[in-house]
Amino acid sequence: MGRVVVTEFISLDGVVEAPGGADFRYPNWSFAFDRGPEGERYKEEEALASAALLLGRATYDGFAAAWPHYEGELADKYNGMPKYVVSSTLSDPAWNNTTVLTGDLAEEVERLRERIDGDISVAGSITLVQSLLALDLVDEVHLMQFPVILGYGKRLWGETPDKTDWDLITTTRYGDGVLVTELRRRRIGRGR
């Protein structure tokens, strides 16, 4: 059974918007910090361990525009793996092995969980992630937190209908004070 794993670059004040994007008040803000070789390796191993990608439309468009032009093990993984994009407007995705999800989000994600054996990685995709959190569909959260307060931008944590409990799996410091925190959803009496 698949697990939904959210992976985000995040500031101290919870901003996840455009960490590597140029069209933002603070372009490429995450690149101002060196993650070091171990931090780079962490992100690569995290991606290589994923069985599928689940993305919102804007993140999907960015990935689909970039990854087909790269080479190497990570590019091969992203370009070949199953990709699922949540969209009501995308009808003919050009990126290899992409399926568009247009139905009820909770039902679509449960079907993915049943079909996919391994991690279903959700990168970026702020609106999708907030919906997944509100529906209690996230099994793990991996945060790469950068030591900066941006004071502006879309934040990861929106309102949710109820309290949820999480267990700390690990925290690791990389490079210039970049902190990776992995958390697992605590589910008492539930299968996930």
Inside any domain, residue 143: yes
pLDDT (tens digit per residue) in 169-188: 999 999 999 999 999 999 87
Give percent of the chain above pLDDT 70. Answer: 98
Q: pTM of the entire structure?
A: 0.93
Inside any domain, residue 191: no
Q: Say which CATH number the domain at 148 has.
A: 3.40.430.10
The helix (H) or strand (E) run that includes residue 100 is strand 98-101
- Residue 191: pLDDT above 80? no
Please state the domain count of the chain.
Answer: 1
The whole domain housing 17 covers 3-185
Inside any domain, residue 151: yes
Would you state the pLDDT for residue 82? 98
Q: Residue 128 burial by CB count (10 A; 0-12/13-18/19+): exposed, middle or buried?
A: buried
> What is the C-alpha to C-alpha distance for residues 176 and 124, in angstroms, rounded to an integer?
22
Inside any domain, residue 192: no
Inside any domain, residue 134: yes
Give percent of the chain above pLDDT 90. Answer: 90
> What is the C-alpha to C-alpha distance for residues 156 and 14, in angstroms, rounded to an integer?
6
Inside any domain, residue 45: yes
φ/ψ of 58, rounded to 5, equals -65, -45
Inside any domain, residue 190: no
Nearest alpha-carbon partner for 112 in 192, 8, 49, 44: 192
Write down the number of H helices and E strands in the chain. 5, 8
Average pLDDT rounded to a whole number, residues 48-52: 97
Inside any domain, residue 114: yes
